[in-house]
């Protein structure tokens, strides 16, 4: 069992890559070579330090990180997400990702919003052990389709005024998937803490098969041993009653006020970048100085071959 703790995403990611390379074993599921650790418990003590940014070795597309978080938290499985990551489309069936987390979290059954259920559960009983969001569904996932959730579910525990969150995954691609999963999960963690009036406690990420694909191993070995800590994002607060309207506003292309405006800004910038207006895209990203704006500027530099 591997157990690592760090204060920020940069530090946790770098230490995890190094440990997987040192302690992992070679396995080839579906014929694809990986280095794998069975049983990993990763703890992030400051969940608002959630964005991995370790140029030039590992640079995250901050626009996709923002878009995926909005897509999942709004309960969507709409194909607009492919604008930010076209690779996702290869796992779709008839254009739809059957394993999309959002509909399972926000509408498991008609009228059954698991996000609201957790919020109400913890408000009614702060000591509850039933604040659970389930994502894996045998009825949906045993029949064959291309996209089966890697995340099994989320659990929340309010103790001594601090909300802890635990995520359990059957499988995790450390290089490509972890950075984005950590980003979205810790936003969910922070929001839930706000909705129930608690402080944000530790975030716990449990993975059964944590692995690096062979193609990413050289880059993983090039990560710094002692990276600079990720910057903390501004607090993401929004009343529960306004949450869905806020996400709809961002999805429609608007840029609301406050820290959520940065989500709309980087998403708009990337859409413009994809349309070929690279200078305009950069200028929009550079209007902000937040974590996402800085991250997207670094991503553009990587795409242009300018990351040092």
Known catalytic residues? 150
Q: Are strands 151-159 and 132-134 parallel, antiparallel or unpaired?
A: antiparallel
Q: Which class for 22: exposed (0-12), middle (13-18), buried (19 or more C-beta within 10 A)? A: exposed
CA distances from 87 to 52, 79, 91, 127, 176 (A): 20, 12, 8, 41, 11
CA dihedral 217→82→146→51, nearest 10 degrees, is: 40
Q: Which class for 115: exposed (0-12), middle (13-18), buried (19 or more C-beta within 10 A)? A: buried
Alpha helix segments (H runs only) across 176-260: 178-195, 214-221, 240-251
Which residue shows structure tokens 């940065």? 262
């Amino acid at each position: 069992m591997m157990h690592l703790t760090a204060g920020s995403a940069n530090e946790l990611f770098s230490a995890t890559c190094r440990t997987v390379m040192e302690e992992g074993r070679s396995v080839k599921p579906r014929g694809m070579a990986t280095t794998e650790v069975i049983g990993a418990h990763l703890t992030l003590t400051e969940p608002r330090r959630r964005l991995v940014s370790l140029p030039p070795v590992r640079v995250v597309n901050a626009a996709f990180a923002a878009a995926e978080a909005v897509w999942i938290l709004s309960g969507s499985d709409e194909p607009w997400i492919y604008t930010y990551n076209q690779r996702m489309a290869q796992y779709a069936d008839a254009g739809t990702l059957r394993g999309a987390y959002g509909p399972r979290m926000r509408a498991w059954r008609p009228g059954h919003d698991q996000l609201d259920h957790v919020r109400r559960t913890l408000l009614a009983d702060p000591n509850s052990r039933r604040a659970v969001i389930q994502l894996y569904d045998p009825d949906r996932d045993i029949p064959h389709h291309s996209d089966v959730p890697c995340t099994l579910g989320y659990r929340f525990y309010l103790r001594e005024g601090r909300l802890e969150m635990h995520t359990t995954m059957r499988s995790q691609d450390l290089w490509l998937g972890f950075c984005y999963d950590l980003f979205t999960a810790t936003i969910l963690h922070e929001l839930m803490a706000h909705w129930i009036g608690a402080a944000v406690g530790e975030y716990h990420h449990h993975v059964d098969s944590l692995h690096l694909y062979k193609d990413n191993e050289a880059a993983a070995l090039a990560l710094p041993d002692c990276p600079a800590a990720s910057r903390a994002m501004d607090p993401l607060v929004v009343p529960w009653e306004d949450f869905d309207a806020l996400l709809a506003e961002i999805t429609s292309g608007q840029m609301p006020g406050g820290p959520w405006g940065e989500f709309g800004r980087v998403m708009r910038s990337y859409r413009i970048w994809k349309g070929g207006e690279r200078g305009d895209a950069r200028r929009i990203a550079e209007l902000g100085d937040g974590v996402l704006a800085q991250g997207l500027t670094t991503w553009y530099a990587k795409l242009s071959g300018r990351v040092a």
